[in-house]
Each structure stands twice: as C-alpha cells, then as structure tokens.
A and B are shown apart, each in its own frame.
Chain A
Amino acid sequence: SAVISQKPSRDICQRGTSLTIQCQVDSQVTMMFWYRQQPGQSLTLIATANQGSEATYESGFVIDKFPISRPNLTFSTLTVSNMSPEDSSIYLCSVNNRQNTEAFFGQGTRLTVV
C-alpha cells in the first residue's frame, strides 16, 4: 500500500488567484494522478504526472489552467490558476501500486473559490 499526504486539506480562495496543492507519497512511484471532484459529482481525471517529463492532460484540461510539477518520484504539485467559483471542488492525488492494479488516494483538498 501507499500513504499519500495532501496539503492543504482545505482552502477558501479569492477569484483570480492561484492555489498550489502538494502531494507527498511514502514510496517512489512512476505515475501520480490528479483528479477533480465537483460538488455532487464523481471523480474526473485531470492529468497524469510523470517524473522527468511533461504531465499528460485529459480532454478538457490544459496546462495553463492546471500546471503540474513532478520534481521527483515521491512528490507532485497541482496548481489551480486564475480561479473562478467553478473551480470549487475537491482535488485528489492518487498513485497506483507497482503492478498498476490498485489505486491509493490522498485525503483530498477541498477548494472553495469566492
């Protein structure tokens, strides 16, 4: 299993500002995943963060809005840029086990944009 720590756990931000979310894993992993969960909705994958290369974004998500860093095999950040109230969501970091057969999640960051 993997233990994932996310910071901050929650934040209230002004529109137009940016927030960087940190994700720390207790073991080295190849891929880290960032998800968004809008109120009352299921999880949607934003991007896959690979160490040493650019993140791979899913349809509907762009790097300018959600820049991602992956400086090493245990850490990643997701920035939500130029926020609007529509960005109010829970953002979750996830990793798979070595066989890519099981997923583990952080506790999430609850973002409210006012």
Chain B
Amino acid sequence: KQEVTQIPAALSVPEGENLVLNCSFTDSAIYNLQWFRQDPGKGLTSLLLIQSSQREQTSGRLNASLDKSSGRSTLYIAASQPGDSATYLCAVISGTYKYIFGTGTRLKVLA
C-alpha cells in the first residue's frame, strides 16, 4: 500500500530564505508526482507536475525534483516571500489513477 510522507510538518522562515520541502513515498511504481499549494480553508492549486520519466520541473521560483528509485521528491522555493505562506502537499498517482496525498508541510514566511 502506497504511503506518502512529508517533512517537515511545519516550517517558519524569514522572508528571502531559500527552502526545501521533502516528500517520500513507499512504492516507486508511480506514474507521476504532483505538488499542490493549499491556502487555509481553500481548495488545491497545482504547482508542479513531474512525470515518472522526468527528473525535475521548474516554474518561476519553484523547482521540484523526483528520484523514483529512492522514493523521494523535493520542492525547492527560492527567495521565499510572505505570499508563499500556505500548506504544500505532494501526491503520487499510480496504476489505479487515484492520488495518494502526503501529510503536508505548513509553511509560514515571516516579513
């Protein structure tokens, strides 16, 4: 059974710092991995999608990497801003087309 874990569970950093969020999964047989952002009480916004054949994806200040063999992904946020404060979720999709979500990292960027 696929399990997805994210560390740290919470993170508080001063504005301008570069930071790394971690995601690990137990079954490497995935189709892709997707990173989402969730603002309090809201739905999910897709940030980056990495297909199983890819190693990384970049969008603006965000960079996500994927190492399938070791069951790990990282989300790198450069030059963090207070507007980046949110919960970040990673999710993997496998053969059943269902997404299995991680436990999330609550990020707070202090001005």
Contacts and interface: CB of A to CB of B under 8 A. Distances in A.
Contact of A101 (B51, B91, B98, B102): B51
A44 B104 CA distance: 12
Assign chain B's interface to a size class: 20 to 34
A104 B99 CA distance: 11
B44 A42 contact: no
Contacts of B41: 90, 108, 110
A106 B45 CA distance: 9
Contacts of B44: 43, 92, 105, 108
Interface string B28-52: 0001101010000111111001010
Nearest to A10: B41
Interface of B: 31-32, 34, 36, 41-46, 49, 51, 89, 91, 93, 97-99, 101-104
Interface of A: 6, 31, 33, 42-45, 48, 90, 92, 94, 96, 100-108, 110
21 contacts: A6-B43, A31-B97, A43-B44, A43-B101, A44-B101, A45-B98, A90-B43, A96-B93, A101-B51, A102-B32, A102-B34, A102-B49, A103-B34, A103-B46, A103-B99, A104-B46, A105-B45, A105-B46, A107-B43, A108-B41, A108-B43
